[in-house]
A and B are shown apart, each in its own frame.
Chain A
């Protein structure tokens, strides 16, 4: 018998399909009560358009495994942090050409203005070189920045620290 938690843990992110929702840190809780399941997820960014897709994927997967009644709730608090991406998730990102995030900056009190380009120790996920430069703080999805490697000259995505 496959538990609801096991089923939910296998559901992948719609935009980063190499990553499960569990490895992304979006899957908060799975509570099973007979044929009924209550799943709690959290959005990465407030405007994340993938949230409805995540919910539907969870519902479909659980239905397929015989759970008749599935409810998906969204918890906003505490807010998602890129620190919640698991070690396995970080390896999966790197294996697929996406640079995983460093530690998120801790915010306690006013957020200090940063006028210099964000400095991160980013390695090229393709050739491993640390000779990388930021192209833009904003990338193809809300959670990514754009980088390029000055050694192998390939562009790549970096998951931002939040």
Chain B
């Protein structure tokens, strides 16, 4: 494409100072310095394991963020529409930093794009990997369902992530520690928001209660995968840069019990979903919903690998 193709239709509106305008021309391309993720890999940390661990945490955030963003203009009321978009934005920010960190510590994880592509590494990871290369848990990729399903999913996800991030603030990797310290503050808002909605729906009408019970039953079987320790997470914990997800179970269970008690709800008595060919989301084995989600999320970027935005 010729550079003239990128003239913004808003050019005439900026009063000659294009830096005051957020659309079209004026913003320089994002770069590593902007993300602040360039610190060297600490001694004693395996770069590939660190990158893979960053992809796990980053893909969880990215995929959950995408599902939440699908509520935009569809939520039960305007305030909730804004709330879900805000939660999605926080998670997208965390995903960007985590994927950018993965690319810095192990460039081998980044998909190769045509020469001259302006796509930054974190975008290449988000938009040019196939489902089998995504490391997110299956909990976050499922169809949104109704609002109660989303509340139930957000409650399980945010409760677990908050407990992990809180421990990750002591990570041997200074970048992960910094991302976690910021994330704790954000995800605390997400968890409390989901927990309050769970109580509100459970104690609301017969219909809202029926729906939140059904929502919890829908996502509950995917809960196990959050706390199952993969070899990469075991390495991460042993080398001091990550958290063994099994180690946060007691704290997570206590919070969920507190929410369920306040809601007057029982724990769903449902067995966990099984593995697929000996693996689960962290191994790149996903549900059917994942392919459809990626098709929607990636189609524009993949159609224009040399595109400038």
Partner of B182, one of A57, A76, A117, A146: A76
The residues in B between 120 and 141 inclusive whose CB is less than 8 angstroms from any CB of A are none
- Interface 9-residue window, one of B29-37, B238-246, B278-286, B301-309: B29-37
Contact of B199 with A56 in the complex, beta carbons under 8 Å: no
Closest to B162 in A: A111
Give the total of B residues in contact with A, Cβ under 8 Å.
Answer: 54
Contact of B34 with A77 in the complex, beta carbons under 8 Å: no
Q: List the A side residues contacting B17 at CB < 8 Å.
A: 60
Nearest Cβ on chain B to A74's Cβ, whole angstroms:
4
B interface, by DSSP: helix, strand, loop or mixed? helix
**Binary per-residue interface labels of chain A (115-132) against chain B in the complex, 1 for a CB within 8 Å, 0 otherwise:** 101000000000000000
**Binary per-residue interface labels of chain A (72-114) against chain B in the complex, 1 for a CB within 8 Å, 0 otherwise:** 1111111110000000000000000000000000010111011
Pick 25 A–B contacts, CB within 8 A, sort by A.
Answer: A46-B96, A47-B90, A47-B92, A49-B89, A53-B19, A56-B19, A57-B19, A60-B19, A71-B33, A73-B33, A74-B34, A76-B178, A77-B181, A78-B181, A79-B178, A107-B185, A110-B163, A113-B258, A113-B259, A136-B79, A136-B80, A138-B83, A139-B82, A140-B82, A142-B90
* Interface residues, chain A, with chain B CB atoms under 8 Å away: 14, 43, 45-49, 51-53, 55-57, 60, 71-80, 107, 109-111, 113-115, 117, 135-140, 142, 146, 160, 162
User: Beyond A49-B89, A56-B28, A115-B259: 5 further Cβ-contacts under 8 Å?
Assistant: A45-B90, A46-B93, A56-B27, A76-B182, A77-B178
